[in-house]
A and B are shown apart, each in its own frame.
Chain A
């Protein structure tokens, strides 16, 4: 059997496309967690982003309004989380879980009128360059702007955390909010900002799903990707570059197992479906084994409420 080299390129591109929402949501959650806040509401924020994006696109017809509207929706719902956990000092875990349940419920309610409506085509960039190179052409060109942004994001995030002053302040808050507060850093403000940013990225991830990846609205269409994004953050030991690796493995196995099922490989379907989850976690655990490094990169105050008393 001769395999067309461009076909391999197309498969790799589809793997990358399926990794996009994971990368976006994980990188957002990574910033939130690095500041010491554990937001388990990623799935809920993503699904809100998905319905908001799709609904705005259908109603207004503007893709730009839809994409930014989805991010804004993510910000708004994460503001609820921020207000509860940072101002009213509620428990991070319980509030995050509530956020997910809330998000899934409200998206289903809003989405009722949008089921079955076809989506719009999202413009792609560099379409013409696709055929100029074998293999690399389909990988590099002909994707949406969100796709390119997602693959730049881990590097931007890494640079931001390591090299910029704000990144340093953010890590300091996650390490010890008490010390940061005593140094005159406004811990609550930093954490609000990080939570809202995480919300925006989750919203964008959701919009990518409903507007670009599978342009339609299906109830519960995030299908647990928010939880995978959360797991990626932890198993990557809060390292954006490892998130990229993890998301690619997960995306790759998801695509490959589809193809394997289609070809009719004689492995139980349940096992194939579970495979991406298992392998991603194993690989990330193996590449992040160094307990010293884990200790150094884990935000010490993760999930703990900080309350400044006077």
Chain B
């Protein structure tokens, strides 16, 4: 049977932001639809409305001409709308089977049979009796998909499903989605990745700042045309010049190990690498393979053996982050609002947190506010932070502006090495471009970078050398020119 889903004049307004501005769209089964837009364009709000998580201020949803009243996720489920969220909606400490039975009305045995049939049909293989926290991201996603399939949905919505997957897992997912589509399930695929839209979808709707800007067939589009629609301007492409080869070693890591007590963390095993001056070392990997532990060990949040880290001919493995900063290292952690800045504090107060010795931010234990403010204003103008109010609380900065502020705060001391972890995660294209340009500039000034990132394109664009981290182990270090994203994908999946 044909499924027709209609979104009609949907509006959702948050204080200070129109998330969805009179959006109307129509979908028919048999096709895969892309909903494309940058972060903050309103796609997530729209799909949350479709799945009953958010109630719209105005507008209606029709499924096969029936006006749906979606007041809770339960209503969406009852109306055969399945949703796989970007941030998995699983219970980590419960087993896979418990996760699946929790919203099902079926008996244990018949449900188990049903799950087995689904897994066989689509070639999934997952142990149902282990806790979800032991699964890889790809497996967790499959659990979410199975959860939807159990209810034989008419509509399946996938919200940014590939952000945590390897290249191989992504192509497996695409195969499954195509199969679902052939079986008559209407698929709506939300993403900001243009390549995926071109690969997978039949039709594409582009959103920008809460508004629907275009609906078109994929065969009439290409990557450039979609990018311009998504961003609303013509994008310049940035490219890195090949670094001057330097043999002046800046940092050397020898036999570094870290064993964690927490089953949620990854142990680091026998890490060895070195970075020369003016080089950018990229570390690729699927999130959760030891990147955050590696970042913490390098930044001094986790202290290791003194001799395991040699920086500028000093052994610094046992120093804390503040002490490492005195040796001219700088850090930009992954989570901007949790680790890099304190959201409730003002911009200039956050700047003062990086209290390096020569800063004179504090005199005899008293805060030198003028000095800090002067310094903050310099960061804001030098790094293009889009505000002139340094009294603003950091939580009110957009992701891009906050990241510029953090990178600016770190760079104002002109460090020899910047270690950054997913510096462009969740940013819009303009901000990403700016951060990339800044990082390239650092290398041009003969300073070094260690870039830990889950974004393969970013790594290929910026790195001189690349290594892949998998289950806490680093692969051998490769020259960036010899590496392709396919090869990285294979290494990220753990193969040699």
Contact = CB atoms under 8 A, between A and B. Distances in A.
Interface in B57-106: 72-74, 77, 85, 88-94, 98, 101-103
Given A168-B101, A292-B263, A295-B263, A182 B94 contact: no
Interface in A152-190: 165, 168-169, 171-172, 175-176, 178-185
A172 B102 contact: yes
Nearest to B53: A182
A2 interface: no
Contacts of A270: none
Contact of B262 (A176, A184, A291, A297): A291
Contact of A291 (B52, B73, B98, B261): B261
Contacts of B131: 296
Interface in B11-45: none
A300 interface: yes
B105 to A, nearest CB: 9
Nearest to A169: B102
A181 B52 CA distance: 11
Interface residues of A, number: 23
A295 B94 contact: no
Nearest to A178: B89
Contact of A175 (B72, B85, B92): B92
B55 interface: yes
A299 to B, nearest CB: 8
Contacts of B55: 310
Contacts of A182: 51, 53, 73, 85, 89
What's the dominant secondary structure at chain A's contact region? helix
B269 interface: no
A175 B91 contact: yes
Contacts of B77: 184
B92 A184 contact: no
B93 A291 contact: no
Contacts of A165: 101-102
A86 B24 CA distance: 37
Nearest to A299: B93
Contact of A179 (B74, B90, B101, B264): B90
Contacts of B271: none
Interface string B245-278: 0000000000000000111100000000000000
B73 A172 contact: no
B316 to A, nearest CB: 29
Contacts of B263: 291-292, 295-296
A302 to B, nearest CB: 12
Give the one of A169, A182, A297, A298 with max B CB within 10 A. A182
B54 A297 contact: no
A297 B68 CA distance: 39
Contact of B98 (A168, A184, A297, A298): A168
A241 to B, nearest CB: 18
A57 to B, nearest CB: 43
Contacts of B261: 291
Nearest to A171: B94
Contacts of B264: 295
B54 A168 contact: no
Interface string B420-458: 000000000000000000000000000000000000000
A300 B92 contact: yes
A157 B128 CA distance: 24
A310 B261 CA distance: 38
A131 to B, nearest CB: 47
Contacts of B92: 175-176, 300
A16 B355 CA distance: 59
A179 B93 CA distance: 12
A189 B438 CA distance: 50
Contacts of A297: 93
Contact of B89 (A168, A183, A291, A298): A183
Nearest to A297: B93
Contacts of B98: 168, 171-172
Nearest to A176: B91
Given A291-B263, A296-B93, A184 B73 contact: yes
Contacts of A183: 73, 89, 102-103
B379 to A, nearest CB: 33
A297 B55 CA distance: 34
B91 A171 contact: yes
B38 to A, nearest CB: 23
A180 B74 CA distance: 11
Given A184-B103, A310-B54, 7 more contacts: A168-B94, A169-B102, A182-B51, A183-B102, A184-B52, A295-B263, A296-B263
24 contacts: A171-B94, A172-B91, A172-B98, A175-B94, A176-B92, A178-B89, A179-B90, A179-B91, A180-B91, A181-B73, A182-B89, A183-B89, A183-B103, A184-B52, A184-B72, A184-B73, A184-B74, A291-B261, A295-B93, A295-B262, A295-B263, A296-B263, A300-B93, A310-B54
Interface of B: 51-55, 72-74, 77, 85, 88-94, 98, 101-103, 131, 133, 261-264
8 closest residue pairs by CB, A with B: A184-B74, A179-B89, A184-B73, A175-B91, A292-B263, A172-B91, A182-B89, A296-B93
